[in-house]
Amino acid sequence: MADYRVKATAAGGSIRAIAAVTTTTALQVQKVHQASPVAAAALGRLITAASLLAADFKDEFRLTAEVEAGGPLGRVVAEVRTGGLVRARAEHPTVDMPLRSDGKLAVGQAVGTHGILRVVREERGRTAYEGQAPIVSGEIGEDLANYYRSSEQIPAAVALGVLIGREGLVVASGGLVIQALPGIREMTTDEIAEKFQTLHNISWRLSRGESPEDLLREVLPSPVHWLSTETLDYQCQCSAERSLEIIGGLPESDLVALIQEQGAEVVCHYCNTAYPISLFDLEQIRNMRAHRKN
Ligand SMILES: [Zn+2]
């Protein structure tokens, strides 16, 4: 099943729901970074979180969800841009941790519990929105629910999950958010909360072939009104041109040092692609600068 996200409403529009499956992307990100199981789980959950947060945007946007909470994985970042293109990284993706006493991956411990979840949305290259909320548990699902509640002032129920197989690789990844808009009847929220309890282990269910729609159908009161569906794909956005731009932004002294070293290399933190910068390129950048000054 290719990765995608679906939006829906229920209870006459007073409930908004988004669900996503991100298995292929999460596995790709794990392979690119040779991420440990616990790092892959954190990355997969954050990828799903970013995909849910990006559901309302279409034209030339980039949404970054970032968690910095003092754990051994360091900063974990997931980015979704126009067309549902996703990339992600963790500062220390190979760090592994023993399982918790209940046999689950220690995601919260690996991410850390003291810090913030930050969400930045850029539109046409400019920051259009920036919000943040304190980390609750580092498990990402709870942190995202807290973010919705504190930043957007909307009560939200969130479930995120990543299933890691015996070989230590991502087998399933996905999640959902349900938001209660103003005017919803209390009974309806109670019903949803109750049904939400039965949703535990969504990654296992996705691995068994259940779809995001199946999960939503189970929690939402019928009839469910289905809105848009969008595919999600792994794709980095680095390029040789972008690497030259980075070099072009360096201070003069750094540029001179690189010229003395006869060349340079720009490595993308998101996909580990190395872009060699030749001495010719470096000299050309320097000449262009000198030209501009005159
Ligand atoms: Zn890249």
> What pTM was estimated for this model as a whole?
0.92
**pLDDT, tens digit (0-9, with 9 covering 90-100), for 160-213:** 999 999 999 999 999 999 998 887 776 677 777 777 777 778 999 999 999 999
Q: How far is the CA of 268 from the centre of ligand 1 (A)?
A: 5
Q: How far is the CA of 175 from the centre of ligand 1 (A)?
A: 25
Cα distance between residue 62 and residue 250, in whole Å: 24
Q: How far is the CA of 267 from the centre of ligand 1 (A)?
A: 8
Q: How far is the CA of 276 from the centre of ligand 1 (A)?
A: 14
pLDDT, residue 183, reads: 74
Where is average pLDDT lowest: 12-16, 93-97, 182-186, 218-222? 182-186
**Architecture (CATH level 2) of domain 4-234:** 3-Layer(bab) Sandwich (3.55)
Tally the C-alpha atoms within 13 A of residue 94's C-alpha that lie toward its C-beta: 3
In the chain, count of helices (H) and strands (E)? 10, 13
Identify the sign of the CA torsion 45, 48, 54, 56.
negative
Q: How far is the CA of 237 from the centre of ligand 1 (A)?
A: 6
pLDDT band with cut points at 50, 70 and 90 for residue 3: very high
Q: Letter for the amino acid at 135?
A: I
Residue of 39, 8, 55, 9 whose CA lies nearest to 168:
39
Cα distance between residue 207 and residue 27, in whole Å: 13
Residue 41: pLDDT over 80: yes
Cα distance between residue 46 and residue 20, in whole Å: 12
Average pLDDT, the chain: 93
Q: How far is the CA of 269 from the centre of ligand 1 (A)?
A: 7
Cα distance between residue 247 and residue 242, in whole Å: 9
Residue 64: pLDDT over 90: yes
Q: How far is the CA of 242 from the centre of ligand 1 (A)?
A: 10
What residue segments make up the domains of the chain, in order of their start? 4-234, 240-293
Structure tokens at 140: 């990402």
Cα distance between residue 92 and residue 261, in whole Å: 29
Q: How far is the CA of 124 from the centre of ligand 1 (A)?
A: 20
Find out whether 84 and 233 touch, Cβ atoms under 8 Å.
yes
Tally the C-alpha atoms within 13 A of residue 63's C-alpha that lie toward its C-beta: 24
DSSP reduced 3-state for 111: helix
Which residues are bridge partners to 112 per DSSP?
A: none
pLDDT, residue 221, reads: 87
pLDDT, residue 187, reads: 64
Domains 4-234 and 240-293 share a fold: no
DSSP 235: -
Q: How far is the CA of 271 from the centre of ligand 1 (A)?
A: 4
Q: How far is the CA of 143 from the centre of ligand 1 (A)?
A: 27
**pLDDT, tens digit (0-9, with 9 covering 90-100), for 130-142:** 999 999 999 999 9
Q: How far is the CA of 194 from the centre of ligand 1 (A)?
A: 42
Cα distance between residue 10 and residue 289, in whole Å: 58
Q: How far is the CA of 210 from the centre of ligand 1 (A)?
A: 32
Q: How far is the CA of 96 from the centre of ligand 1 (A)?
A: 24
Residue 106: pLDDT over 70: yes
Find out whether 282 and 255 touch, Cβ atoms under 8 Å.
yes
pLDDT band with cut points at 50, 70 and 90 for residue 280: very high
Q: How far is the CA of 241 from the centre of ligand 1 (A)?
A: 12
**pLDDT, tens digit (0-9, with 9 covering 90-100), for 107-160:** 999 999 999 999 999 998 899 999 999 999 999 999 999 999 888 788 889 999
C-alpha gyration radius of the chain = 21
Q: How far is the CA of 70 from the centre of ligand 1 (A)?
A: 25
Find out whether 188 and 11 touch, Cβ atoms under 8 Å.
yes
Q: How far is the CA of 86 from the centre of ligand 1 (A)?
A: 11
pLDDT, residue 294, reads: 67
Over range 2-24, report the average pLDDT.
95
Q: How large a percentage of the chain has pLDDT more than 90?
A: 80
CB-based contacts of 21, cutoff 8 Å, min separation 6? 1, 3, 4, 172, 173, 174, 206, 211, 212
Q: How far is the CA of 26 from the centre of ligand 1 (A)?
A: 15
Q: Is the peptide bond before 155 cis (omega within 30 degrees of 0)?
A: no
Q: How far is the CA of 8 from the centre of ligand 1 (A)?
A: 33
User: Per CATH, which fold does 240-293 belong to?
Assistant: CBS domain Like (3.90.1280)
Find out whether 281 and 244 touch, Cβ atoms under 8 Å.
yes
Over range 57-79, report the average pLDDT.
95
